[in-house]
Amino acid sequence: MSSFIENDNLTITNIEDSYFEDQYLSKQDVAFPPLIINDNHRAYLLFDGHSDNDCINVIRNLNKDKLKELLEKSTKDCMDHIINLTNECYGGAMLTLVEINSINNPFIKITWLGDSLAYVYNQNNEIIGSSHAHNIIDDPNSLPEKCIINRVSISSTTQEDGITQKLNYGDDVNPYYKLIIPFTNNKYSGEIHKIASTRSLGHRGIFLSNKYSEKIINLNEKGKFKIISGSDGVWDIMHPKDKFLHDKVIARNIVKECRVRWRKEWILPNYRKNIYDPNSECWPIDTTTTMGDQDDICCICSVITLN
């Protein structure tokens, strides 16, 4: 818990934090404990590594005191420091930095690279701000050849393109989920949906851009606000409007639920037996399968009370 000093308008009177990482395959997700920069400023850093381990190893060894020192100066100083340290790495990593600041009027600042995302909710569980994935679909100015790899679409960047539950958010009567797959989505004319990020740390600056994005969400009303940051191990499997996120937000609980969902069976509607062939024969509509891979899962949550 933490109390921030009063400003001319609202006061951040309390903050509850939780962070957790759950590693499956590559063991490349990293969640840092909250960084307390000063009485009015705290930050949360989350990374999702990929490819070779050299980039995420550099990140794991980042000096937390140095990061706090740089964040006290500016977000840019901190980001430049991380980018410079990882720029020569062969591997890569996505990044989400969330800052809570009450120096003037309370606000939340999200800085990100890639597809590790953060969402801010008001006390009515409405999303009032978020980051967005830097992928081929959402980043049209990036050239297709800049994507790391072509993958089957399992991104929940938008509800209609993501993995969504067939019934109402975790109905135990029907444990299946629905998976949208190539050549059943008219929106993209049957093309393979490229969800790999077009921006990332590392990769020796050859294929990807390390240009990050920023968004500021001003907190202008009294009440409770929550911030949920997660790697794609969360958002590939849980829609940001999922009712599970309406309950008391604890990072460990979100990770546990995501782990359960990754291990469930999936309904594959019109799933073509050869996903790369738009004319391939389809499996029967009710065919189910278990997901072959379980992604690393990483999550940081914070609940803010404003009076």
Q: pTM, whole model, 2 decimals?
A: 0.80
> In this structure, is residue 125 part of a structural domain?
yes
> In this structure, is residue 5 part of a structural domain?
no
> In this structure, is residue 6 part of a structural domain?
no
- What is the per-residue pLDDT for 232? 86
> In this structure, is residue 39 part of a structural domain?
yes
Tell me the CATH number at 268.
Answer: 3.60.40.10
> In this structure, is residue 62 part of a structural domain?
yes
> In this structure, is residue 4 part of a structural domain?
no
- What is the per-residue pLDDT for 170? 35
> In this structure, is residue 58 part of a structural domain?
yes
Number of domains in the chain: 1
Q: Which domain holds residue 104?
A: 12-306
Q: Tokens 């379980």 sit at which residue?
A: 294
> In this structure, is residue 1 part of a structural domain?
no
Per-residue pLDDT of the chain (307 residues; tens, 9 = 90+): 344 444 456 677 788 889 888 765 558 899 998 999 998 899 999 999 988 889 999 999 999 999 999 999 999 999 999 999 999 898 899 999 999 998 778 999 999 998 899 999 999 999 999 998 887 656 655 544 433 333 333 333 333 333 333 222 333 444 444 444 433 333 333 344 445 577 889 988 676 788 899 999 999 888 999 999 999 888 877 888 888 888 778 999 999 888 877 777 665 555 566 655 667 776 665 566 555 567 789 999 999 998 8
